[in-house]
């Protein structure tokens, strides 16, 4: 076993299973911690995220060519803000978003356990990623989507053979319905991008790739749009492991950015609380980060304290402005959710949290081609 499943808060060992139980004491999802030989410092052979398989739960690789996404330097926004800014283009993944990193590992692990049917709730990108990897693995996927999800994403899920269940009402209804379906059908396994430790494990690859691609350059700030927070936590654990292995002088500060209408983590951060309170949400252009009660909330807030980051809230008008500037000034067409972190950078520069000359990386999480 190249690692263990533990509670991220009290470190209690949890059972490695297709349906990993939350910590019985803390009631939070478990996290996979690799105990492998350690990062060697040399780029491992092969391609994509499975180069890093010794840091994933044990599974035969299941790949569509995810990972190894390009890093490009900002031509205009960075210079305009006086910072050294790089983007990591996660829309270049096979289904068009960073979620492929997590879905690849999650479905590979479930296939190893002999799982035949999976269900998840998603506003679109995670559902598309799950449906694609499930198709590859010969597993039936059912995706519970909120009624407001992008039609293009829904068509993509169906094209992969995923079964769509539209759920009226606010986003959390889709989660409730997906879990209820898994309770009714003992063969149906809940494969959540917000809860599964296997999904989260695959996102560490983003930190490992960034460290390779920007080797020799200082890495001071990374800004992340946060809904369920798997991307934030994947980067956090990945960078901390690199730092512990001596491959990175210092982990960058990670900052989380949320949209005003759904900012439970940023609100908890500002109030100095350790646990987010669920919020009522309105609608936002950033549908991908609209998780009113993130299951990993306490883990994220603890990580934010440890890594010396901060939380930022941005308005929809700021998100749309950043989205437009990315396209017009950089030639980067992303979905509005990806622009959340860019809007957050403007705010952090104004607040003096990011200072002139410092280096910033923003993962642009998904392609604009499938946004509404």
CB of 26 to Zn ion, least distance (A): 3
Q: How far apart are CA 184 and CA 170, in angstroms?
A: 22
Q: Considering beta carbons, is residue 23 or 182 the nearer one to Zn ion?
A: 23
Q: Considering beta carbons, is residue 13 or 176 the nearer one to Zn ion?
A: 13
CB of 296 to Zn ion, least distance (A): 12
Question: Does the footprint of Zn ion cover residue 7 (CB under 5 A)?
Answer: yes
Q: Find the part of the chain contacting Zn ion (CB under 5 A) among 4-12, 43-51, 322-330, 361-369.
A: 4-12
Question: Does the footprint of Zn ion cover residue 5 (CB under 5 A)?
Answer: no
Residue with tokens 């957050």: 344
Q: Find the part of the chain contacting Zn ion (CB under 5 A) among 25-33, 54-62, 170-178, 206-214.
A: 25-33
Q: How far apart are CA 293 and CA 276, in angstroms?
A: 7
How large is the C-alpha radius of gyration of the chain?
19
Among residues 5, 16, 20, 23, the one that binds Zn ion under rule CB under 5 A: 23
Q: Find the part of the chain contacting Zn ion (CB under 5 A) among 22-30, 86-94, 192-200, 204-212.
A: 22-30
Among residues 26, 64, 71, 214, the one that binds Zn ion under rule CB under 5 A: 26
Size of the site for Zn ion (CB under 5 A): 7
CB of 120 to Zn ion, least distance (A): 24
Q: How far apart are CA 165 and CA 146, in angstroms?
A: 9
Among residues 10, 176, 244, 245, the one that binds Zn ion under rule CB under 5 A: 10
Q: Find the part of the chain contacting Zn ion (CB under 5 A) among 2-10, 60-68, 283-291, 296-304.
A: 2-10
Q: What angle do CA 85, 239, 93 make, to 5 degrees?
A: 65
The four Cα atoms 27, 303, 335, 171 give a dihedral, to 10 degrees, of 20
List residues bridging with 163 in a β-sheet.
142
Question: Does the footprint of Zn ion cover residue 9 (CB under 5 A)?
Answer: yes
Q: Considering beta carbons, is residue 9 or 293 the nearer one to Zn ion?
A: 9
Q: Where are the beta strands (DSSP E) in 180-244?
A: 188-190, 221-225
Residue with tokens 């560490």: 204
CB of 14 to Zn ion, least distance (A): 9
Q: How far apart are CA 15 and CA 151, in angstroms?
A: 38
Please count the other Cβ atoms lying within 10 Å of the Cβ belonging to residue 349: 18
Question: Does the footprint of Zn ion cover residue 244 (CB under 5 A)?
Answer: no
CB of 232 to Zn ion, least distance (A): 20
Q: How far apart are CA 312 and CA 270, in angstroms?
A: 9
CB of 68 to Zn ion, least distance (A): 35
Q: Considering beta carbons, is residue 27 or 277 the nearer one to Zn ion?
A: 27
**Ranges within 249-268 binding Zn ion (CB under 5 A):** none
CB of 31 to Zn ion, least distance (A): 10
CB of 6 to Zn ion, least distance (A): 8
DSSP assigned state of 366: B
How is 240-274 classified by DSSP, letter by letter? HHHHHTTSSSSPPEEEEEEETTS-HHHHHHHHT-S
Question: Does the footprint of Zn ion cover residue 25 (CB under 5 A)?
Answer: yes
Q: How far apart are CA 172 and CA 194, in angstroms?
A: 12
Count, in order, helices (H) and strands (E) of the chain. Answer: 11, 12
Q: What angle do CA 367, 241, 92 make, to 5 degrees?
A: 15
CB of 9 to Zn ion, least distance (A): 5
Q: Considering beta carbons, is residue 22 or 170 the nearer one to Zn ion?
A: 22
Question: Does the footprint of Zn ion cover residue 302 (CB under 5 A)?
Answer: no
Binding site for Zn ion (CB under 5 A): 7, 9-10, 12, 23, 25-26
């Amino acid at each position: 076993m190249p690692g263990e499943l533990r509670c991220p808060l009290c470190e209690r060992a949890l059972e490695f299973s297709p349906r990993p139980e939350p910590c019985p004491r803390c009631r939070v999802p478990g996290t996979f911690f690799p105990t492998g030989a350690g990062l060697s410092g040399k780029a491992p052979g092969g391609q994509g995220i499975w180069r890093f398989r010794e840091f994933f739960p044990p599974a035969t690789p299941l790949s569509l060519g995810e990972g190894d996404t390009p890093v490009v330097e900002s031509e205009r926004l960075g210079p305009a803000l006086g910072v050294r800014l790089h983007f990591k283009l996660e829309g270049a993944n096979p289904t068009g978003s960073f979620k492929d990193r997590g879905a690849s590992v999650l479905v590979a692990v479930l296939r190893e356990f002999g799982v035949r049917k999976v269900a998840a709730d998603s506003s679109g990108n995670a559902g598309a990623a799950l449906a694609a990897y499930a198709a590859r693995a010969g597993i039936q996927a059912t995706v519970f989507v909120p009624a407001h999800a992008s039609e293009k994403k829904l068509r993509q899920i169906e094209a992969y053979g995923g079964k769509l269940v539209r759920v009226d009402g606010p986003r959390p209804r889709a989660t409730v319905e997906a879990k209820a379906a898994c309770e009714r059908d003992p063969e149906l396994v809940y494969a959540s991008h917000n809860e599964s430790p296997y999904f989260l494990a695959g996102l560490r690859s983003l930190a490992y790739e960034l460290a390779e691609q920007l080797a020799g350059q200082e890495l001071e700030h990374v800004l992340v749009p946060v809904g369920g927070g798997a991307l934030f936590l994947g980067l956090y654990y990945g960078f901390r492991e690199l730092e512990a292995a001596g491959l990175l002088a210092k982990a960058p500060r990670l900052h989380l950015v949320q949209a005003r209408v759904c900012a439970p983590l940023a609100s908890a951060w500002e109030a100095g609380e350790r646990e987010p309170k669920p919020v009522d949400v309105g609608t936002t252009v950033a549908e991908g980060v609209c998780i009113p009660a993130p299951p990993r909330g306490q883990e994220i807030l603890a990580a934010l304290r440890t890594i010396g980051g901060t939380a930022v809230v941005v308005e929809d008008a700021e998100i749309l402005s950043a989205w437009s500037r990315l396209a017009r000034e950089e030639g980067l067409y992303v979905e509005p959710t990806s622009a959340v972190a860019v809007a957050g950078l403007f705010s952090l520069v104004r607040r003096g949290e990011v200072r002139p000359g410092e280096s910033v990386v923003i993962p642009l999480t998904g392609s604009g081609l499938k946004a509404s």
